[in-house]
Amino acid sequence: MKKGMILFLLICLLVSILLNFFLTYKIREFYLRLNKMRLDPLELHSINSKLNDSISSEKDLLLFIGDSRAADWPVLSKYSKYEYINLGVNGLTSSQLNLRKELTSRFCIPEYIIIQIGINDLKVIPLVPGQKEEIITNCIQNIQSVTNYSKGMGAKVIVCTIFPTGEVPFFRKLVWSRDVTQAINKINSFLFNLESESVFIFDTYSILSDDSGKTKKEFRKDFLHINSAGYERINEELNKLLKEISN
């Protein structure tokens, strides 16, 4: 009996130690991220570092802007008709993207601009549920502002619907709610109102989601991100859209 109790206590101690190491790591990670944001709130270093190289004028320039989902977007070699610049930034919100919108035109005038943004706004909703509608409205206004500015640059703008999310992992359950999915659906529905002769809605949500509204298992990298198979799938559809637009 005593040996069993001692073993149980040792296991509890080991779990406690491991959990404390994990929490310390996460706290340090978030603290570092917070202070980096205070030093460079618009992540301007990403623009400077990615646009230092000269841009060829032989191909149409295709610019990706937005959050980590945009930043992770790979360029497949078979779509070699375009020159690509990816200015996606991990953790970027629609407010930050809106404030950055005028900076890009100082470096280049792209023929196409692809926008994927919104999830970093909406994932805050469970923490401040009373501000849900305000967050949704603000996100919509920011996307509309970035779209209008991009259109004003003379670019053809491809606005992506917000990607779905996967299964909620255990450690996120306390800071997540169905309100996020509802907000994604609300904003995605609104985005179709932005369509015009030079603005095109690329419904990535429908391509990636299963019948329950979650990211299809074969496309999941983690809770918020898709894997290479997911990007390959949406790149197939993106290529079709680009062909339609360029004709």
For residues 135 and 26, which has the higher predicted lDDT (pLDDT)?
135
Farthest-apart Cα atoms in the chain, separation: 79
Instruction: Give pLDDT, residue 24.
Output: 76
Q: Considering only residues 24 and 123, tell me which one the structure prediction assigns the higher pLDDT.
A: 123
111-143 confidence digits (pLDDT tens):
999 999 999 999 999 999 999 999 999 999 999
Q: What CATH fold (topology level) applies to the domain 44-246?
A: Rossmann fold (3.40.50)
Spatial separation of the C-alpha atoms in residues 79 and 82, rounded to whole Å:
7
Give the dihedral of Cα atoms 151, 208, 169, 65; nearest 10 deg. -20
DSSP string, 6-68: HHHHHHHHHHHHHHHHHHHHHHHHHHHHHHHHHHSTT-HHHHHHHSSS---SSSEEEEEEESH
Could you tell me the pTM of the whole model? 0.84
Question: Over the stretch 50-85, which tens digit does the pLDDT of each residue have?
Answer: 665 546 567 788 999 999 999 999 986 666 678 888
Q: What is the pLDDT of residues 84-108, one digit of tens each?
A: 889 999 999 999 999 988 877 666 7
| Res 67: pLDDT | 96
